[in-house]
Chains A and B, each alone.
Chain A
Amino acid sequence: EAGVAQSPRYKIIEKRQSVAFWCNPISGHATLYWYQQILGQGPKLLIQFQNNGVVDDSQLPKDRFSAERLKGVDSTLKIQPAKLEDSAVYLCASSLDYRGPGNTEAFFGQGTRLTVV
């Protein structure tokens, strides 16, 4: 079974530039998550999708971050404009369906390491 695919693996940009990350979840997984993990910290949920709908974006800095999952499959996360404090690993994860207690295991992609200089 193919895992969660993310690209790019690494990205270096200057502050105030824009950047986009792509995620393709495991086939059939309805729930998709984007996390931000700053060095030395645990993953912080940015946004959670159920199919193509947003169920939680309370911690997404909406003035600069946006995400979409138009067809309920793959997703993109965008930062515009980037700040130095956005330097982190951006992890995408998916699970079968968050509504089922037996289906809540989240599978993670390898992440995109963003450095803002």
Chain B
Amino acid sequence: RKEVEQDPGPFNVPEGATVAFNCTYSNSASQSFFWYRQDCRKEPKLLMSVYSSGNEDGRFTAQLNRASQYISLLIRDSKLSDSATYLCVVIHSGGYQKVTFGTGTKLQVIP
């Protein structure tokens, strides 16, 4: 089993739709979680951290489920500009922090 798994997609959704991505991780001792966004042929950039209590930033909501070992990202009212690949990042600390990226989920928002 991979350390961090994501559905690669692509997810093709119409403008205004709500879309959700999940990311599962295998190491139960993982401590920090993030969602990064990567536009085509660009570098990844931090979208949001994922806190145990869940957190929201505008149209984006991130949640963590430690019992089932997954994190999720919900995008409401999708915009064309949301089209990108969303990378899940899991950090495990065991002497040093090991940063593991998922393979990414590609989102295409259609007019």
Assess A44 versus B44: contact at CB under 8 Å? Given A56-B96, A98-B96, A104-B91.
no
Main secondary structure of the interface of B (DSSP, over half): strand
Q: How many A-B residue pairs have CB under 8 A?
A: 54
Q: Is B43 part of the binding interface, using a Cβ–Cβ cutoff of 8 Å?
A: yes
B32 touches A56 (CB 8 A): no
Over the window 74-111 of chain B, the binary record of Cβ atoms lying under 8 Å from chain A Cβ atoms (1 yes, 0 no) is 00000000000001000100001111111110000000
Q: Is A33 part of the binding interface, using a Cβ–Cβ cutoff of 8 Å?
A: yes
B45 touches A99 (CB 8 A): no
User: Distance (Å) between the CB of A104 and the closest chain B CB?
Assistant: 6
Q: Is B31 part of the binding interface, using a Cβ–Cβ cutoff of 8 Å?
A: yes
A104 touches B103 (CB 8 A): no
* Residues on A with beta carbons closer than 8 Å to the beta carbon of B34: 104-105
Contact of B43 among A50, A91, A99, A101 (CB under 8 A): A91
Assess A106 versus B99: contact at CB under 8 Å? Given A42-B87, A101-B32.
yes
User: Distance (Å) between the CB of A47 and the closest chain B CB?
Assistant: 12
User: Distance (Å) between the CB of B74 and the closest chain A CB?
Assistant: 20
* Residues on B with beta carbons closer than 8 Å to the beta carbon of A111: 43
Assess A108 versus B101: contact at CB under 8 Å? Given A55-B96, A98-B96.
no
Over the window 42-68 of chain A, the binary record of Cβ atoms lying under 8 Å from chain B Cβ atoms (1 yes, 0 no) is 111100101000011000000000000
* Residues on A with beta carbons closer than 8 Å to the beta carbon of B32: 101, 104
Contact of B101 among A42, A48, A98, A109 (CB under 8 A): A42
* Residues on B with beta carbons closer than 8 Å to the beta carbon of A99: 96-97
- Interface positions of A from 70 to 114, Cβ below 8 Å from B: 91, 98-99, 101, 104-111
Residues of B within 8 A of A (CB): 4, 6, 8, 31-32, 34, 42-46, 49, 87, 91, 96-104
Q: List 25 A-B contacts (CB under 8 A).
A: A33-B99, A35-B101, A42-B4, A42-B6, A42-B101, A42-B102, A42-B103, A43-B87, A44-B101, A45-B98, A56-B98, A91-B44, A98-B96, A98-B97, A98-B99, A99-B96, A104-B34, A104-B91, A105-B34, A106-B99, A108-B43, A108-B44, A108-B45, A110-B43, A111-B43
